[in-house]
């Protein structure tokens, strides 16, 4: 991994962790959140007045690190029946360097799926009431250059110091989000 790639990966990990913390502040049972990721220094160069809207430490960080990212939460997302449908409708202009998404999911141990009813509605009810159910918030970010980061928090361990992070925790979601940048 090159120095540039490590710097981008570090900046992305920091930004995705901040996005997860932002989502955590709003509490559980939140809708899907989608964010554009832009290099802060480039955004400031294109619009110097933006410095007045950003905290001073962000402006300072952008001057010190050209890979520093700013996340911009997207409003007015298109209607979609499923996460996959939403992602299929997203596309980003070249001025966006990456994207991030925050979703909540139910996780059960693999053996719990063996007893799940075939009927979709009954299956959802089964999962919602399963004694081993875990609610997890997943924040995933990807850059056009290929770097990715995932931050995960469980409702059972709902603490900022209990957030796990890795580049490949949710590979299917990483790939689906990356496809929105192509």
pLDDT in tens, 55-69: 999 999 888 999 999
- State if pTM tops 0.95: no
Domain count, the chain: 1
Q: How far is residue 45's CA from residue 102's CA, in Å, rounded to a whole number?
A: 28
Q: Please state the φ and ψ torsions of residue 78, each to the nearest 5 degrees.
A: -65, 150
Name every residue whose Cβ is closer than 8 Å to that of residue 134 and which is 6 or more positions away in sequence.
106, 107, 108, 154, 155, 156
The pLDDT, as a whole number, for residue 108 is 85
Please, which pLDDT band fits residue 114 given cuts at 50, 70 and 90?
confident
Band of the pLDDT at 147, cuts 50, 70, 90?
Answer: very high
Are the C-beta atoms of 16 and 150 separated by less than 8 Å?
Answer: yes
Q: C-alpha 178: how far from its chain's center?
A: 11
pLDDT in tens, 8-50: 999 999 999 999 999 999 999 999 999 999 999 999 999 999 9
By the 10 Å C-beta count (0-12 exposed, 13-18 middle, 19+ buried), 83 is classed as middle
Range of the domain at 56: 3-179
């Amino acid at each position: 991994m090159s120095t540039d790639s490590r710097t981008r990966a570090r900046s992305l990990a920091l930004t995705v962790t901040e996005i997860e913390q932002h989502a955590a502040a709003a509490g559980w049972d939140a809708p899907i959140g989608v964010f554009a990721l832009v290099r802060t220094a480039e955004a400031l160069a294109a619009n110097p007045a933006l410095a007045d809207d950003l905290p001073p430490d962000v402006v300072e960080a952008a001057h010190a690190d050209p890979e520093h990212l700013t996340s911009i939460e997207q409003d007015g997302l298109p209607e979609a029946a499923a996460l996959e449908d939403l992602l299929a409708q997203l596309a980003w202009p070249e001025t966006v360097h990456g994207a991030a998404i925050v979703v909540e999911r139910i996780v059960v141990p693999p053996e719990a799926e063996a007893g799940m009813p075939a009927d979709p509605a009954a299956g959802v009810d089964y999962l919602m009431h399963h004694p081993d159910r875990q609610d997890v918030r997943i924040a995933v970010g990807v850059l056009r250059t290929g770097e990715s980061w995932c931050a995960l928090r469980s409702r059972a361990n709902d603490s900022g110091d209990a957030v796990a992070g890795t580049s490949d925790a949710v590979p299917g979601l990483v790939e689906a989000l990356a496809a929105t940048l192509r």
